[in-house]
Amino acid sequence: AQTVTQSQPEMSVQEAETVTLSCTYDTSESDYYLFWYKQPPSRQMILVIRQEAYKQQNATENRFSVNFQKAAKSFSLKISDSQLGDAAMYFCAYRNPSGGGADGLTFGKGTHLIIQP
């Protein structure tokens, strides 16, 4: 079974600075999908960014980018120019494509990101 590990239960960063959240995963598959979700206190899980394993180029979405290291099975999230609205729980998630959707997402335990004004 796949596992996702987020080793940082909590991270703190000054507003306008850059922070990197770590994620590692374990899989025997060669093709899969990786996601970062944000969960503010409102509870809704919001997709931040996604990466297809077969793509070598790291995904970027405005201030959010990933460092995808397939050989190391690492998928870190970098948030540039941190804003107060970025404060939330961040979850790294893995998806195996071979299940056709039936296996859902496997989530890490999450990292609580605090933004210091």
Partner 1 sequence: GAGVSQSPSNKVTEKGKDVELRCDPISGHTALYWYRQSLGQGLEFLIYFQGNSAPDKSGLPSDRFSAERTGGSVSTLTIQRTQQEDSAVYLCASSLAWGVSNQPQHFGDGTRLSIL
Which of these, 103, 104, 112, lies nearest to 38 by C-alpha position? 112
* Residue closer to partner 1, measured from CB, 1 or 84: 1
**Residues lying near partner 1 in the complex (CB under 8 A):** 33, 35, 37, 42-47, 50, 52, 91, 95-110
Which amino acid type is present at position 109? K
To the nearest whole angstrom, how small is the minimum distance from the Cβ of residue 109 to partner 1?
5
* Residue closer to partner 1, measured from CB, 82 or 110: 110
To the nearest whole angstrom, how small is the minimum distance from the Cβ of residue 73 to partner 1?
18
To the nearest whole angstrom, how small is the minimum distance from the Cβ of residue 33 to partner 1?
5
To the nearest whole angstrom, how small is the minimum distance from the Cβ of residue 35 to partner 1?
7
Task: Compute the distance between CA of residue 114 and CA of residue 31 in angstroms, rounded to an integer.
Answer: 33
* Residue closer to partner 1, measured from CB, 30 or 42: 42
Q: What is the DSSP string of 27-40?
A: -S-SS-EEEEEEE-
Q: How many CB atoms are located within 10 Å of the residue 37 CB?
A: 21
- List of residues 6+ apart from 56 with CB closer than 8 A: none
* Residue closer to partner 1, measured from CB, 50 or 70: 50
Structural tokens at position 96: 């195996």
